[in-house]
Amino acid sequence: MISYKPLQKLLIDRGIKKQEIIKLTGVSSATMAKLNNNGYVSLEVIDKICSALGCQPGDILEHLPDRSDLNGHH
């Protein structure tokens, strides 16, 4: 599973509101909602956020193993 918790932390650390990110990147509020809920977003969205924040993808997302992976099932 991909988690966007690092993005939320980065925004808090920099004092950037979600509405500001929407303005800076041009992504929709629906896309921001997906990010908040660890939903699927395109790499284009990741690219826009990285450009706006001057960061790398690893700064805004992380991979978390699925529960089934933890149990040794694939």
Mean pLDDT by 10 residues, the chain (74 residues): 96 95 95 95 97 97 81 56
Up-side HSE of residue 7: CA atoms within 13 Å toward CB?
27
Specify the CATH number for the domain of residue 42: 1.10.260.40
Q: What is the pTM of this model?
A: 0.85
Domain that holds residue 62: 2-70
pLDDT of residue 66: 82
Terminal Cα-to-Cα distance of the chain (whole angstroms): 13
pLDDT of residue 73: 54
What total number of domains does the chain contain? 1
